[in-house]
Amino acid sequence: MDEDPLKNSSLITILNKQSNPRPLIECLDIQSTFEKRKKHKKFERNDSSRSHDDQINSSPGKVEVGRSTIDIREPMPEHLNALKNAFNKILNERLLSDNSLKLRKIVFDKLHQIILASRSDCQINLYGSISFECCLEKPGIMDIDIQFKQTLQYDTLKELLEIITKSDLCKEACINTEHKPSCIDLIINEPNMRVRITSGYNRGINLSKLIRIYTKFDSRVIKLLRLFRILSKTCNIDKPDLGTLHPIAFHIMVIHFLQQIDPPILPCLHEYVFGIDHVPITMNENQYPEFFRICNVYSREWKSKNTTDIEMLFLQLLSYYVKTFNTKQFVVSIQTRMPVVKIDKNWHSKKLLVEGTF
């Protein structure tokens, strides 16, 4: 691409007006998230052969193969009110409290001062779930990225470990090379708190900033992010080292869903900035500052026409990934409403693929 779309706002407007893509949810040919299955249709167990699973067909909706899907019926107002009370109770119990958040802010400032005293060229960034206010009380790990100018990532970690162990800030600290990316795991003396320090993890920093921007578009976003994160923790499916999903994947899944419903609650920011014909896109590091600036401005202008309550949205979110989204063929992407096919990503696994976490 010869011309940078970020430098030409008129090009963005023209591309968005000329293109009229079909969102993924329309391509799935589903009339409603809560469409009821026909009562008279007899269930027949089909041959479970998967010899054609990797082929893309013209009807990519979920197909029952040797199993039935879950029916979620339209809930009554009493059901939704009960959910509302339960959700409020769960959020109060499981989310990081205001006091815990203040203590982490104090630790972050102390750590900043200690490192700055030894290396004035340090660049420190808070990222992860704490940065966009979705951190759970347990485990409540604080993610920090520290970079030194003209110093390799692992060399930075070794120097940081030496600086931290000389201070009285922590009681345990070690470099963890099994974690991807490599990091320093440390436990703070007072309060008893876990901190993870990486170096040069720009992908994690930028993704955290993007999620934080999305939470500014609608007040329902942050609540859904928190609820889905708690669900993943309760079900113990947020441990990538054990073969399940990375915690950040559940946030992306929520954003993707809110982009796909009609009318959408969230826009696709990459589509807005770069234009329909240029996404999905792999951004260069120097593009992010301007990209985030444009997105922040847009967050003050966007207004969704969707007025669905949190409780109903949560049920629709579950139904979308159980009944509608085809994990064998499609990628969960937040860059565009158009379908992103696994073959285009050279991904041949039938497992769920969430863009931005691989």
Q: Which carries the bigger pLDDT value, residue 291 or residue 343?
A: 291
Say how far apart CA 310 and CA 236 lie, in whole Å.
23
Paired tokens of 283 = 């951004």
Mean pLDDT over the full length of the chain: 83
Q: 242-291, pLDDT tens digit by residue? A: 889 999 999 999 999 999 999 999 999 999 999 999 999 999 999 999 99
Distance, CA of 94 to chain centre: 19
Q: What is the DSSP string of 283-348?
A: --GGGHHHHHHHHHHHHTT--------HHHHHHHHHHIIIII--TTTB-B-SS-SS--BGGGGT--
Closest Cα to residue 150, out of 122, 169, 177? 122
Please compute the mean of the pLDDT values over residues 338-347 and round it to a whole number.
Answer: 87
Say how far apart CA 68 and CA 123 lie, in whole Å.
52
Say how far apart CA 208 and CA 82 lie, in whole Å.
32
The neighbour count for residue 155, using CB atoms within 10 Å, is: 11
What are the structural domains, with CATH classification, of the chain? Answer: 17-31+72-93+217-345 (1.10.1410.10), 98-200 (3.30.460.10)
Paired tokens of 23 = 């969102």
Say how far apart CA 56 and CA 328 lie, in whole Å.
9
Lowest mean pLDDT, pick from 56-65, 67-76, 87-96, 132-141: 56-65
Q: What is the pTM of this model?
A: 0.80
DSSP 40: T
User: Given this model, what pLDDT does residue 45 score?
Assistant: 39
In three-state secondary structure terms, 260 is helix
Please compute the mean of the pLDDT values over residues 32-36 and round it to a whole number.
Answer: 42
User: Quick check: 12 pLDDT over 50?
Assistant: no
What are the φ/ψ torsions at residue 97 (nearest 5 degrees)?
-75, 165
